[in-house]
């Protein structure tokens, strides 16, 4: 049950919703649970949440005329264009930073908008997020 709980906390943390998966992982490490399975649960959940962001970004362009610049949509046309320009400047390797607070979640969304190949996206995001959780484990244990 602890693994599933950590998985979902990490999943939510990777979306635009607020959650603190590092705190959940740190708390989970104080139990008798397997360190490897805790790391794997957090990494898998957080990566899957980022995949949802990528998919939403990829599909947003189909609905762009209806969504972007509507009152309730959180991103304007100009903001979306700027994000695409920044992503183009730094390239696909910037996805290694998808674990960072504030910029990580939008970065995975923009990767979808920019139609980054899913395999590259998955490899880079999983590596970065897995490394982040490994550092958390190392610092706690």
For residue range 38-59, list pLDDT tens digits in order: 999 999 999 999 999 999 989 8
As for how many domains the chain has, the answer is 1
Quick one: pLDDT at residue 49? 96
Q: Which domain holds residue 10?
A: 2-140
Quick one: pLDDT at residue 77? 73
Kindly state the percentage of the chain with pLDDT values over 70. 90
DSSP-derived secondary structure letter, 73: -
The Cα–Cα gap between 75 and 115 comes to 18
Q: Which band of pLDDT confidence, cut at 50, 70 and 90, is reported for residue 62?
A: confident
CB 112 within 8 A of CB 54: yes
- How far, in Å, are 26, 42, 91, 98, 113 from residue 67 at the CA level? 39, 32, 26, 25, 14
- The pTM score is 0.87
């Amino acid at each position: 049950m602890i693994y599933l709980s950590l998985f979902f906390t990490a999943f939510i943390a990777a979306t635009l919703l607020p959650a603190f998966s590092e705190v959940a992982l740190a708390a989970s490490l104080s139990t008798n649970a397997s360190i490897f399975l805790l790391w794997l649960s957090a990494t898998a959940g957080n990566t899957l949440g980022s995949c949802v962001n990528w998919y939403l970004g990829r599909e947003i362009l189909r609905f762009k005329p209806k969504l972007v610049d509507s009152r309730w949509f959180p991103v304007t046309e100009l903001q979306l264009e700027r994000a695409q320009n920044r992503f183009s400047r730094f390239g696909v390797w910037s996805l290694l930073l998808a674990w960072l607070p504030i910029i990580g979640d939008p970065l995975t969304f923009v990767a979808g908008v920019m139609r980054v190949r899913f395999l590259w996206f998955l490899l880079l995001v999983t590596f970065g997020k897995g490394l982040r959780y490994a550092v958390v484990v190392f610092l706690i244990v």
